[in-house]
Amino acid sequence: MSTDSKMKITFLGTGTSTGVPVIACNCDVCRSDDPHDRRYRTSAMLTVGNTNVVIDCGPDFRSQMLKNKIENIDAVIFTHAHRDHIAGLDDIRAFNYILNKVINIYGTHETLESIKTQFPYIFYSGRYFGVPQITLNTIGDEPFTISGIEFKPIRIMHQDLPITGYRIGDFTYITDANHIDAAELDKVRGSKVIVLNALRNSRHVSHFSLGEALDILEDLKPERAYLTHISHFLGKQEDVEKKLPPHIRLAYDNLVIDI
């Protein structure tokens, strides 16, 4: 990607694995009328020129594509294979039908092997007509390119599960993290815009809390930062944002930013 290429990030979803509102919950956040407090499962789309790359496709993938009127994607890159990040994989077939093309998906060996286990019918040798048409691309620790756009993997920990964040130029996207080694954190330094998960106010076994996320951002000092993978326990958008530094915002569904 050339230095003068413009990048757009669309937040397709900013909620945790339950989404917000949570089924059967009557807390203030889940009963909020503010559309900023309604969150699909976490996903984003990066756009450079005519290239659209989706980061994770969870169970709300179909609704996210329709909501944002997205009519073309070129690839899906995965952070890891938990269901709230991969469960929408079957809906890729709509792009196969309409665009008459196979969609490339990218992930670590472990992530792709888990996808094979969770979606065995896609990979069955006697393949059923109508299943998603995808090409698997295994990534490691080295940068890789999609349509000339360079992606630099960042190894992070989600409790005891190694998962992948991504740096693309001056932009870094990290979700579902609760620990980042110093050497991997150094790969993020210098990013002008950082997306980082902040699940709730109290500590959690596999996700950064709001305080932990703010401490990391204070160390990295990006020009702008957006928090994602948010649960109803964090509070209402308008209340939480009053407490944040001006350069750090809560992301919300359908937010579009330019890099």
Contact by Cβ (8 Å): 217, 194: yes
DSSP string spanning 202-246?
S--SSS--HHHHHHHHHHH--SEEEEESB-GGG--HHHHHTTS-T
For residue 233, pLDDT over 80 is answered with yes
Share of the chain above pLDDT 70, in %: 98
Under the banding of pLDDT at 50, 70 and 90, the label for residue 3 is very low
CATH numeric code, 7-258: 3.60.15.10
CB atoms within 10 A of CB 43: 28
The tens digit of pLDDT for each residue in 96-154 reads: 999 999 999 999 999 999 999 999 999 988 767 789 999 999 999 999 999 999 999 99
Place of tokens 């599960």: 161
Beta bridge partner(s), residue 196: 227
**Digit-coded pLDDT (tens) for 146-157:** 999 999 999 999
What is the C-alpha separation between 153 and 167, in angstroms, rounded?
A: 7
